[in-house]
């Protein structure tokens, strides 16, 4: 049986990674076979790429960046995501192709058709079954990014230096995808407390995994 592919997206500072850890722990507690991963950096090669082009102060050309995210994804899809789905597992990835549309397309200004072609090449057309978009105001996200820098051991990356305008374009691009693909995309208001958000996430994911449940609520 083919597994399920779920992705978490959001602008930096949206709290998605914390939510990913929480919901995957809950699903595992229910006995489900869940694998968590991330982009970039879901494979050994991807981790080396991440360090080389993201966690660096070196100037990276926007085209090199676009292609390196795609290289990371090609490796990730081929060596980890597809084999795990073929084994019937639930794969939850912290970011995937929507991030490239939002960051490199809207953020860096690459034409949508170029981004689409590169993503198609890298993924072979593999799309998530469900995407959760953690929607937070840019102002709040920027504040969180600053406080993370002071308290977390999360590694800084080049995107941390981007402006509010950059993140507004990225957020708008995610919301446009959500409008275009309401069946796949669930937009979660991520301005509330961790616990409030967690119960929304758990409800959406549970409903998605148990579509025959009579108490279904609509995604999105
Ligand atoms: P994160 O793992 O902390 O979310 O950081 C990854 C960073 O890389 C984040 O700023 C978003 C960015 N990114 C892109 O610009 N394009 C992509 O395709 C992906 C996957 C991430």
Domain definitions of the chain by residue range? 4-209
CA end-to-end distance (rounded Å), the chain: 27
The model's pTM is: 0.94
CA distance 143 to 12: 11
Residue 135 beta carbon below 6 angstroms from any ligand 1 atom = no
21-76 pLDDT, tens digit per residue, is: 999 999 999 999 999 999 999 999 999 999 999 999 999 999 999 999 999 999 99
Residue 209 beta carbon below 6 angstroms from any ligand 1 atom = no
> Could you give phi then psi for residue 5, rounded to 5 degrees?
-115, 115
Strand partners, 133: 9, 187
- What is the dotted CATH code of the domain comprising 4-209? 3.40.50.300
Residue 103 beta carbon below 6 angstroms from any ligand 1 atom = yes
179-210 pLDDT, tens digit per residue, is: 999 999 999 999 999 999 999 999 999 999 99
Residue 89 beta carbon below 6 angstroms from any ligand 1 atom = no
Strand partners, 9: 133
pLDDT at res. 219: 55
Nearest CA-CA partner of 102 in 160, 7, 170, 159: 170
Instruction: Give Cβ neighbours of residue 48 (< 8 Å, ≥ 6 apart).
Output: none
CA 157 to ligand 1 centroid distance, Å: 9
């Amino acid at each position: 049986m083919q597994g399920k592919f779920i992705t978490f997206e959001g602008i930096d500072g949206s709290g998605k990674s914390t939510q990913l850890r929480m919901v995957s722990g809950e699903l595992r507690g229910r006995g489900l076979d869940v694998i968590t991963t991330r982009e970039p950096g879901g494979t050994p090669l991807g981790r080396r790429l991440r360090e080389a082009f993201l966690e660096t102060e070196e100037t990276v050309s926007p085209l090199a960046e676009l292609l390196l995210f795609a290289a990371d994804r090609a490796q990730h899809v081929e060596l980890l995501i597809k084999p795990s789905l073929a084994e019937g597992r639930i794969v939850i990835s912290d970011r995937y192709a929507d991030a490239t549309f939002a960051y490199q397309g809207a953020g860096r200004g690459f034409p949508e058709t170029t981004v689409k072609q590169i993503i198609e090449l890298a993924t072979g057309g593999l799309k998530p079954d469900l995407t959760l978009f953690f929607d937070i105001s840019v102002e709040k996200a920027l504040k969180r990014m600053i406080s993370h820098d002071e308290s977390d051991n999360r590694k800084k990356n080049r995107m941390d230096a981007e402006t509010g305008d950059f993140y507004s374009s990225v957020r708008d691009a995610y919301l446009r995808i959500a409008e275009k693909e309401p069946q796949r995309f669930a937009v979660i208001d991520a301005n509330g407390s961790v616990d409030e958000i967690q119960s929304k996430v758990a409800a959406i994911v549970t409903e998605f995994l148990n579509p025959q449940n009579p108490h279904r609520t609509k995604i999105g």
